[in-house]
Structure 1
Amino acid sequence: MKRFSPAGALLVVLAIIGTSCAPGPGASAPTGSSEAKPKPGGTIRYGLVRDPIHFDPHVSAGQSSVSLQGSVYDGLVEYNDQGKLTGALAESWETPDPTTYVFHLRKGVTFHDGSTFDAEDVLASLNRIKDPKTAAPQAPFVSSFTKMEAPDPFTVRITLAKPNVTFLDRFVGDSNSTMFIASAADIASGFDFRKKTNGTGAFILTTWEPGGQYVFKKNPKYWKPGQPYLDEMIQVVIPDDKARVNALRSGEVDYVENVPWQELATLDKFSTYPYSVSWVMVRLNSGKPPLDNKKVRQALNFIVDRQEVMQLAFGGQYHVIDGPLQQQGNAYYWKELEGTYKKDDAKAKSLLAEAGYPTPADVPAMEMSVFSTFAAHNDPAQVVLQQFQKFGLKVTFKAIDVATLNANRGNGNYQMQMDGLSFSGPDPDNLRAFFHSAAVGHALAAKFKNERLDQLLTQGAETTNVDQRKAIYKEAEQIILDEAPWVFLLWRPTAEAAAKYVKGYIVVPGGLGGQNFGRWEYIWLDK
């Protein structure tokens, strides 16, 4: 039996200003499941583009990893199929004032090892995320809490120094910043979270083989009544894009992620789920010369022909990023910033000259690291590399694997790195996860810092007035574009595909496509 030490034997009397109560589990039926009643049973085989790098519920490792993490672990809150916040391990929450959140936890939930979930696990998880040794992307967020306490075993109270308008959304997390809840006992015992799992999620990881397959059995004690529908899920690693799609066609797998744009139109006999929430960009390490010079970083942005990259690498689909950092239609899309970085060789040469390089040949040799077996990175990288070389720069291609890609993001062991990312949602607070100087997502490792930008990104999260927020984030984007920490390229097409008998899968609306993964409790097979 788990011991519980209340944070003070006090009666907590809350003057409730507003309460948000979660609907019952499964209250929102996922799109695509309304045509028939879900059928329990069966095994789904899921084609992954790569191995999950590790299993740690507090350290993000991209889309393929979060599909595993999200199946094994749960967070306090989640998005439903309408893109609305709803309760997960927290049944409901309330905000007695703008800087206080009180979570009422779900009772009767157990971890896969049979131990009971309660507030002790939440506090231990948050403290582990905050611990610098964990290197969790959400550490700056959790470190901003002034107090975390548990008035009783099923209540957690968090106090902030200032309001944070994206507080609850941040608790959902995404493939860049996970916020799952682990067992306090595991955390205290030094459990190897990278290689072992013990969550409250819908599936239990039973066996796994790197480069092979990951086998999950349903959690018979899952807290969502009647779910998961599937008895078993097998994630199969198929790095080659063509082979992965052919595995779907042949029936070797039932579902695949990362369908190349060239293949999408050929899958008319399958269910396809196209969307775009992913950036393609080149990370620039501001801590390594010559990229420690802002003018060089700006010059690289003027050298690139984004339309050519989009045409050759992605068939001309979706939108270039030549200025605004949000998608068109977003309330924080600044049309007047369009064209900030259009191809302009003369401007690039002028900037390089100002940086002390009279000709492109005078710029020191640079290296671009690329996850070369992943077409969504390799194809645009090849185009950008040719453009740099045609301009006269000495840039070489360094092929890396996905584990190195992920490690480089955190340790800064690169000069330039082709990369991609998905925002957790449409709010511009996403920028803080990459461009605030304390951000594990980029700035910290790349030694990128702008004090005014830090102020704005912090202020934006604390400001509730919409007009004031717009002014803040417009200035923030202008600074980011001027600082040029990345070569901004485009929003790329993304898609999944499945056999017609796979039901219950959706693309979460509202710019939340990155939340699609880890919702396997809703999937069922109509066969």
Structure 2
Amino acid sequence: MSMTTLRNLGHHRFRTSGRPLRATAVAAVVALALAACGTGGADEPGESSSAGADASLRIVMANPPKEGTLDTCNGDNNQLLQENITEPLVRVNGETGELEPLLAEEWTEESPTRWVFTLREGVTFHDGQPFDAEAAAWWLNRVLDPAADCYVLDSVLTSDISSVSAVDEKTLAIELGSPDPILPRRLAFTPIGAPTDDPLVEVTDPVGTGPYQFVSFTPDQSFSMERYADYWGEAPDVGEVEYIFRSESAVRAAMASTGEVDLATSITAQDADAPNAQTYTVSETLYARLDSEVPPFDDARVRKAVNLAIDRQTFVDNVFGGKGEPASEIFLPNVVGYDPDVTWEYDPEEAKRLIAEAQADGVDVSREIEVIGRTGLRNSNGSETMDTLAAMLGAVGLKARTVVMEFEQYRERFEAPQDPAALPTMIVNVHGNSLGDAHLSLDGKLGCNAPQSPACDETFQQMLDDAGAASGDEREGLLQDAARYAHDEMTFLVPVAYTTDTLITANECVQYTPNPATLQKLVVAEIKLQC
């Protein structure tokens, strides 16, 4: 169907050019040329409705990709890349949580330590390479190589995978050192890119199999992609997408209100009173990590006192504007392994007693604690999240101050080795568990091999290993035991609040309903154009 009319959409704006998007901000109003609004979508793979053939979308987000790389090895890039440019073997339905085929059409547990995946026919990478079992094995082996420094290794994927190999062109076999009943679910968070010349060199021009292909990236400013014409599945409505990165929620909300963007993500409660704002539950928990080796946090009583000092309901009411729930663990109640009896009550008097007891035993509780956050931290409203937590520590007699870092500096601090001579830190972060299994959270944040773990507790690790090999009710019970041990004996994590998020749709033509997985992967193909 050809374009025959030009309809001015007022301050709402699409672009109709088929050229690659520019990296600079566009303030002008752009009209969308559409004929016969409301006609049906594509019926054949690779075909799209005429409405989306040349239409483009602008989205503003809080955090840019890691500077210098667009590698899917870096988990922070998944909201941009996963199921847009790159795709995993299977996907988790954002609404139901069920596993669905994607690059793999079916999978079988041939034995407790061997899984076999049958791959989809007729799939190519954006650079023309065929997607087959050899390519899938190459990428997964790259992820499993510690030298490649892929985030998912030991945080999502277990290092106990002993081999990944091609049985034939469309059959992939994965061998394990020990049983992992949820391996397919883990692979849903391991998007696959095209093989490269050197697996140890970070990818700067991502190539995948998804409905969109990479166009351009300006660090800290913008990222753009366009529809891949030879996509194996149904083509998306939107032809081109440009992401703009702005760390302040108020700025993102203002860009939506003026029509500078079509979608604005990660809007805080303070900025969420806007037309077409959708607040939704997400699979994320705001939490803080305490040092294990730096006084006074090397004393378990002080770590417990910090947890008891946090008035979580007041925090949700005042900082999140009542949008959210107090958190008892770093994963939500719908996750396998959640135990309602593992909880923290607000008890400032007990917190003071524990601090005084530790001080009487020679623990230096006078050291100033740095409550560290970062710009763009979801729902933080600037430094308010960190300021509130610091004030709650002060109320029980601890000294604390707020430190807000830029994203890269924060990342380096979060991953740096602990220095007992440095000031003690309480690093504020968010953790998502769309996997639906507590093993991801417990092993990823506290496991002996996890990059973000503040300590290695061998008893806890054995509990995780036992739970990881189990399934069904046995698995759930073992994970609950591990969660109780982390709560009672380790106390390195401070769960604060289960979060919500708000997305503003600034264009009446855009139809999109966010789901709990939206924060971790904004799948543009799920966005529909209605005019």
Shorter-normalised TM range:
0.7 to 0.9
Q: Choose from 211, 216, 219 the match for 1:207.
A: 216
Q: CA deviation at 1:304?
A: 1.8
Task: Name the structure 1 match of 2:262.
Answer: 254
Q: Secondary structure at the match of 1:78?
A: strand
Task: Name the structure 1 match of 2:284.
Answer: 278
CA contact (8 A) 2:133 2:167 kept: no
Q: Choose from 412, 425, 433 the match for 2:444.
A: 433
User: Does the C-alpha gap of structure 1 residues 455 and 142 become closer, same or farther in structure 2, counting only changes over 3 Å?
Assistant: closer
Q: Which amino acid aligns with 2:411?
A: N
Task: Name the structure 2 match of 1:408.
Answer: 413
Q: CA deviation at 1:516?
A: 6.1
CA distance, structure 1, for counterparts of residue 347 and residue 86 of structure 2: 48
CA distance, structure 1, for counterparts of residue 459 and residue 518 of structure 2: 30
Q: CA deviation at 1:385?
A: 0.9
| 1:525 counterpart = 2:529 | yes
CA distance, structure 2, for counterparts of residue 470 and residue 101 of structure 1: 22
| 1:123 counterpart = 2:172 | no
| 1:240 counterpart = 2:248 | yes
CA distance, structure 2, for counterparts of residue 101 and residue 200 of structure 1: 23
Task: Name the structure 1 match of 2:10.
Answer: none
Cα deviation digits, residues 94-117 of structure 1 (max 9, x gap)? 222333211112232222222222
User: Does the C-alpha gap of structure 1 residues 464 and 36 become closer, same or farther in structure 2, counting only changes over 3 Å?
Assistant: farther
CA distance, structure 2, for counterparts of residue 145 and residue 361 of structure 1: 44
Q: Which amino acid aligns with 1:350?
A: R
CA contact (8 A) 1:360 1:393 kept: no
CA distance, structure 2, for counterparts of residue 248 and residue 384 of structure 1: 31
User: Does the C-alpha gap of structure 1 residues 470 and 361 become closer, same or farther in structure 2, counting only changes over 3 Å?
Assistant: same
Q: Secondary structure at the match of 1:247?
A: helix
Cα deviation digits, residues 367-416 of structure 1 (max 9, x gap)? 22211454623322110111222333222222211122233333346822
Q: Choose from 454, 458, 468 the match for 1:451.
A: 458
CA distance, structure 1, for counterparts of residue 432 and residue 212 of structure 2: 25
Task: Name the structure 2 match of 1:47.
Answer: 60
CA distance, structure 2, for counterparts of residue 403 and residue 326 of structure 1: 25
Task: Name the structure 2 match of 1:22.
Answer: none
Alignment of 1:300-379 (within 5 A): 300-321=306-327, 323-328=328-333, 332-338=337-343, 341-356=344-359, 362-374=365-377, 376-377=379-380, 378-379=383-384
Q: CA deviation at 1:83?
A: 3.2
Cα deviation digits, residues 200-254 of structure 1 (max 9, x gap)? 22212212222322121111111113x1321100101122211211211222111
CA distance, structure 2, for counterparts of residue 243 and residue 94 of structure 1: 48
CA distance, structure 2, for counterparts of residue 365 and residue 161 of structure 1: 45
Identical pairs, percent: 22
CA distance, structure 2, for counterparts of residue 416 and residue 247 of structure 1: 33
User: Does the C-alpha gap of structure 1 residues 328 and 503 become closer, same or farther in structure 2, counting only changes over 3 Å?
Assistant: same
Greater helix fraction, Structure 1 or Structure 2 = 1
Q: Choose from 160, 167, 171 the match for 2:176.
A: 160
CA contact (8 A) 1:137 1:433 kept: no
Task: Name the structure 2 match of 1:151.
Answer: 167
CA contact (8 A) 1:424 1:514 kept: no
CA contact (8 A) 2:269 2:379 kept: no
Q: CA deviation at 1:185?
A: 3.2
CA distance, structure 1, for counterparts of residue 362 and residue 346 of structure 2: 17
User: Does the C-alpha gap of structure 1 residues 36 and 403 become closer, same or farther in structure 2, counting only changes over 3 Å?
Assistant: farther
CA contact (8 A) 2:387 2:401 kept: no
Q: Choose from 52, 61, 78 the match for 2:91.
A: 78
CA distance, structure 2, for counterparts of residue 260 and residue 393 of structure 1: 29
User: Does the C-alpha gap of structure 1 residues 331 and 433 become closer, same or farther in structure 2, counting only changes over 3 Å?
Assistant: closer
Q: Secondary structure at the match of 2:213?
A: strand
Cα deviation digits, residues 108-139 of structure 1 (max 9, x gap)? 22222222222222222122112222222332
User: Does the C-alpha gap of structure 1 residues 98 and 192 become closer, same or farther in structure 2, counting only changes over 3 Å?
Assistant: closer
Q: Which amino acid aligns with 2:227?
A: K
Task: Name the structure 1 match of 2:5.
Answer: none
Q: Secondary structure at the match of 1:110?
A: coil
CA distance, structure 1, for counterparts of residue 377 and residue 159 of structure 2: 35
* TM-score (normalizing by structure 1): 0.82
| 1:229 counterpart = 2:231 | no
| 1:396 counterpart = 2:401 | yes
CA contact (8 A) 2:282 2:519 kept: no
Alignment of 1:12-161 (within 5 A): 37-38=40-41, 39=49, 40-41=52-53, 42-53=55-66, 54-61=69-76, 65-80=78-93, 82-140=96-154, 141-161=157-177
CA contact (8 A) 1:204 1:218 kept: yes
- Unaligned 5+ segments in structure 2 are 1-37, 42-48, 419-423
CA contact (8 A) 2:78 2:521 kept: no
CA contact (8 A) 1:239 1:373 kept: yes
CA distance, structure 2, for counterparts of residue 118 and residue 271 of structure 1: 42
- Unaligned 5+ segments in structure 1 are 1-34, 174-178
CA contact (8 A) 1:105 1:155 kept: yes
CA distance, structure 2, for counterparts of residue 488 and residue 342 of structure 1: 12
- What is the RMSD computed on CA atoms of the aligned residues? 2.6
